[in-house]
Amino acid sequence: MNKNLLQDMVKIKRTKQGIVLKEVEKKIEKKIESDDFFKPRARVSFSEEVNKEKKNPKNALWFVAIITVVFLLFAISTLFTQAKVSVNPKVKELTLNEKMFAQKDSNGEDLSFDLVVIGGEESILIEGQGKEEVSNSAKGTVIIYNDYNSTSQALDINTRLEGSNGKIYKTEKKITVPGKSSDGTPGKVEVGIYANEPGKEYNSEPLDFKILGFKGSPKYAKFYGRSKDEIIGGIVGTLPTVTLEEKNAAIDQLKKNLEEKLLQKTINQIPKDFILFNNAYSLVIDDQTEEYDKEKNAISISLKGTLYGLLFKEVELTKKVASSVVPDYDGSDIYITNIKSLELSVVDPYVSFKDVESINFKLSGATKVVWRVDEDVLVTDLLESSKKNFETLLLQYNSIDSASVVIRPFWKKSFPDKIKDITINVSYP
């Protein structure tokens, strides 16, 4: 049994000092060697111990920080997942040469067309190279009124009318002036007049007229006339002359100018979903007049005309063409790339667009039929779907020829769960 160290130390006090110290040292050494508590440890310097204590916590902190950053980046990139889908639509190249039939305002199975009608006027001034001596009487139009009684009154050709300018004019034809109505409204008739003599003195602003033949009778006050417009054209002197070639060239230019003017006016008014083909309109000349311009000493030629055009609804025409040339076309949403540039030729070249009710025509030209991709439906189908099922999903769309997808971050294997994070880019030709 081990002795109590305190007991030994008590004995030390009873001995001499030198002997006591030696004995104490020996006993303490034996005690230390025999006691586990005082077993010697490996020697480590103080500086090494301090460095070790400092180094290990720092490495641990760096490791934790790196792991945290990686985790945060992963979490953030997951929140900002995006997918970009590039789609090549189905395209079929065609060379059209199709005979077609259309009915005006058709509500049935036949292709329909609308008729656009726009009128206008164009004038041109020609300075003739030659000269001609002329003697022309001024002309105009007068409305003659009967405020005398309810009985009609006949007036012979060349009935003399006295103008409020003191000049005499004559009627161009025989007329009958109706009697006044039961409510007292005067009867009236319109007639052309010409000056009694040639010369510019008879040219005038609108005038009032009396019938000279009724002067001295009650009818003189009750029969009267008023000109509709100016009385013009009276001249005695030299006029420029225009050759037939010059005149025809001027008229051709007028027609061209009028057609371009009315065509542009028509195009500006056409709804965007309608088509007016280049050969699907015609210009009809309604009136042609020639007048001498005394101020410019030239001939003025004016044309009044109306443009008639056939308008086709683009969607309806497109589907009608596809039904004829695309095998097994199922009515899908499509478009024809250059449909407005295709050539339309009327089978009957003498058909009048003015009175047309139906038409046979041929549509020709190289073009492409392109299927439209319903991007809203596609993006909805892609939400949260697996990337590996992408190709299988595309098989459901007969409007898609091929497609590719890029999903970020790269380790994501499925599409985002929000529509705004999926971008669809369709490469339409």
Of the three residues 193, 210, 238, the one that is the final residue of a domain is 238
Residue 170 lies in a domain: yes
CA distance 118 to 8: 137
Out of 178, 203, 238, a domain closes at 238
In a domain, residue 218? The reply is yes
CA distance 206 to 232: 10
Report the candidate in 5, 2, 1, 49 with the shortest Cα–Cα distance to residue 23. Answer: 5
The residue behind tokens 């497609």 is 403
Length of the chain: 429
* 87 belongs to a structural domain: yes
What's the 3-state SS for the chain? CCCCHHHHHHHHHCCCHHHHHHHHHHHHHHHHHHCHHHCCCCCCCHHHHHHHHHHHHHHHHHHHHHHHHHHHHHHHHHHCCEEEEEEEECEEEEEEEEEEEEEECCCCCCEEEEEEEEEEEEEEEECCCEEEEEEECCEEEEEEEECCCCCCEEECCCCEEEECCCCEEEECCCEEECCCCCCCCCEEEEEEEEECCCCHHHCECCCEEEEHHHCCCCHHHHEEEEECCCEECCEEEEEEECCHHHHHHHHHHHHHHHHHHHHHHHHHHCCCCEECCCCCEEEEEEEEEEEEECCCCEEEEEEEEEEEEEEEEHHHHHHHHHHHHCCCCCCCCEEECCHHHCEEEECCCCCCCCCCCEEEEEEEEEEEEEECCCHHHHHHHHCCCEHHHHHHHHCCCCCEEEEEEEEECCCCCECCCCHHHEEEEECCC
Per-residue model confidence as pLDDT tens digits over 46-59: 455 445 545 566 66
176 shares a domain with 87: no
Do residues 342 and 276 make contact, with C-beta atoms less than 8 angstroms apart?
no
Residue 400 lies in a domain: yes
Give 285-321 pLDDT, tens digit per residue.
999 988 877 667 778 899 999 999 999 999 999 999 9
Do residues 166 and 234 both lie within one domain? yes
Phi, psi angles (nearest 5°) of residue 161: -120, 135
Domain that holds residue 165: 134-238
Q: In terms of DSSP bridges, do strands 82-89 and 422-426 run parallel, antiparallel, or are they unpaired?
A: parallel
Per-residue pLDDT tens, the chain, 429 aa: give them.
Answer: 444 444 444 443 444 444 545 564 555 555 555 555 445 544 545 455 445 545 566 666 766 667 776 555 555 555 568 999 999 999 999 999 999 999 998 887 899 999 999 999 999 888 877 777 889 999 999 999 999 999 999 999 999 999 999 999 999 999 999 999 999 999 999 999 999 999 999 999 999 999 999 999 999 999 999 999 999 989 898 777 778 888 889 999 999 999 999 999 999 999 989 999 998 999 999 999 888 776 677 788 999 999 999 999 999 999 999 999 998 899 999 999 999 999 999 998 788 888 899 999 999 999 999 999 999 999 999 999 999 999 999 999 999 999 999 999 888 899 999 999 999 999 999
Angle between helices 5-13 and 17-34 (to 10 degrees): 170
Phi/psi region, residue 365 (left: phi>0; alpha: psi -120 to 50; beta: rest), is left
Four-residue CA torsion sign, 408, 409, 415, 419: negative
- What's the pLDDT at 184? 93
- Which of 205, 238, 271 corresponds to the end of one domain? 238
Residue 29 lies in a domain: yes
Q: Are residues 142 and 231 in the same domain?
A: yes
Report if residue 342 sits inside a domain.
Answer: no
Query: What pLDDT shows up at residue 5?
Result: 42
- The count of structural domains within the chain is 3
- Indicate whether 278 belongs to any domain: no
- What is the distance, to the nearest Å, from the Cα of residue 313 to the centroid of all Cα atoms in its chain? 14
The answer to whether residue 22 is domain-embedded is: yes
Q: How many CA atoms lie within 13 A of 283 on its CB side?
A: 23
pTM here? 0.59
209 and 161 in contact (C-beta within 8 Å)?
A: yes
The predicted pLDDT at position 7 comes to: 44
pLDDT at residue 338 in the model: 93
Alpha carbon 410 to its chain's center: 40
Residue 368 C-alpha from the chain's centroid: 21
